[in-house]
A and B are shown apart, each in its own frame.
Chain A
Amino acid sequence: MNRTDISAKQMEATVVLFLVGSSLVTGGSTRAKQDTWFCIVAAMILVIPMVWVHSEILNLYPGRNYFENIICAAGRPAGTVICVLITLYALVLGAVVLRNFSEFIHLVNMVETPIIMIAVSVMVVVIYTLSNGLYVLARISKLMLLLLVVSVTVTIVLAYQNMDASHLKPVLQSRPADLLRGIVSSFSTPYCEIILCAPMFGAMSRNAKIFPTFLKGVFFAFLILLAANIRNTLVLGYLDTTVNYSSYEAVSVIQIGEFFTRVEVLIGITLLLAGFVKSGVILFSTCEGLRKAAGYRDYEPIVVPVGVLTLTAVPLISSNVSELSWMIEHLPFYALPVQVLLPVLVLVIGKGKKKLKQRKAPRQGQIPKKTKSA
């Protein structure tokens, strides 16, 4: 394994932090209200085939390069269009995540600090990290995951006295339309965002298998998100669906005696860590997509231009908080074709092409045998 290769454990940690990212703070609550846990479970089951699809795309051709395999499978013109579409999606998502992240810090902790200042501070660190290679981000992730798990566990244990099991009732009594919308919402954000994790696997150690590593990461993220969502629902009840940052609100009620308060700082730290990794992974995928579409060898020289472009998109993403909430609520429906349709299409075409090639290959192999016997 090279010094710059990413191990399976580091990749799992990066996938977990990417998926948990902003969803841990927003709580991932949906229109299904107290039945959101069901939507999260259903979305997890639905995302397993998508993990397989991305793993198969990575394994289509040697090299495990996601965007290169897309171009090989779909052909140069169509493949480039698909790469550009995924890159545009990554750029918009990157801006939404950075805006959401900066907005949270601005509203909760730093009211006087301009949003752009927070976004610039984060983006500069992300650019610096990625300029040194993706393995730096993966190594940081492994360390950060431990802090994240400790933070979630501590808040669940401390919030125990404020939990009310009746907040989960009535179980599965939401309208089917709301449940379905909740499932689609949970499926798209964050699970189907794994499309932006897939390009990272090109840097993973060749000995590690893609599908088990990918699935382990997604499953671990699911456990954390489910635990956080159930904690929020049990503590806040109906209020969980009305507040923007439900995890922050749920944890803010924790108080042990007169001296142990303000535990919500842990949630702020969690967002800082997970949001940083999420922004890094999205920036990497955007650069990789652009690199492949433009036909370059390295992604490092375009990290800065793409980073400042994302920063410019931060104020342009929405003119106010309500528009941002609308964007976050509706983005899943716009993103689904890129997240699901395109990868499935690429895999079907790629597998079909491979089978055709395999059928042609034996026929071509028989010709010299015949000539030899003749």
Chain B
Amino acid sequence: MTDLEYFMIFSPTFLILAWLNLRKTYQLRQFQYYMVQIPIFVIVLVFNFLIVFEVPVPSISSLLLKLLSHFVK
């Protein structure tokens, strides 16, 4: 699967879910939740653009290996 295919599957799901979620929060006047919702949606979008543009992002397991290799051999 190419990264573009990945984005084509992920982006519609993301957009629909994000829109429904933000709209419901707006309708219920619970604007305080935007403080968590919007930053997370931005982080998700940034990471997905990085994946699509094939920017090398280190995997979580390689990060864990680098960070914690001193403790577990």
A residues with CB within 8 A of B: 92, 95, 114-117, 120, 124, 127, 290, 294, 296, 301-302, 304-309, 311-313, 315-319, 323-324, 326-327, 330, 333-334
Q: Is the CB of B9 within 8 A of A116?
A: yes
B20 touches A318 (CB 8 A): no
A319 to B43, CA, bound (A): 20
In the complex, which residues of chain B have a beta carbon less than 8 angstroms from the beta carbon of A95?
60
- List B contacts of A334 (CB < 8 A): 64, 68, 72
Other than the given A114-B9, A305-B44, A327-B64, 5 more pairs (CB < 8 A) read A294-B35, A304-B18, A309-B43, A316-B57, A330-B64
Instruction: Give 26 CB contacts A-B under 8 Å.
Output: A92-B60, A114-B5, A294-B35, A296-B32, A301-B28, A301-B37, A302-B37, A304-B20, A304-B21, A305-B18, A305-B40, A306-B40, A307-B17, A308-B17, A308-B18, A308-B40, A308-B44, A309-B43, A309-B44, A311-B13, A312-B47, A312-B48, A316-B60, A327-B60, A327-B64, A334-B68
B10 CB, nearest partner CB in chain A, Å:
6
Chain B interfacial positions (CB closer than 8 Å to A): 1, 5-6, 9-10, 13-14, 17-18, 20-21, 24-25, 28, 30, 32-33, 35-37, 40-41, 43-44, 47-48, 51, 57, 59-62, 64-65, 68, 71-72
Which residue from chain A places its CB closest to the CB of B28 in the assembled complex?
Answer: A301
Q: Is the interface of A mostly helix, strand, loop or mixed?
A: helix
Most chain-B CB neighbours within 10 Å: which of A120, A316, A326? A316
Q: Is the CB of B25 within 8 A of A301?
A: yes
A2 to B72, CA, bound (A): 47
CB-CB nearest in chain A for B37 = A305
Q: Please give, as numbers and ranges, the residues of chain B lying within 8 Å of A327 by CB-CB distance.
A: 60-61, 64
Complex Cα gap A91–B14 (Å):
18
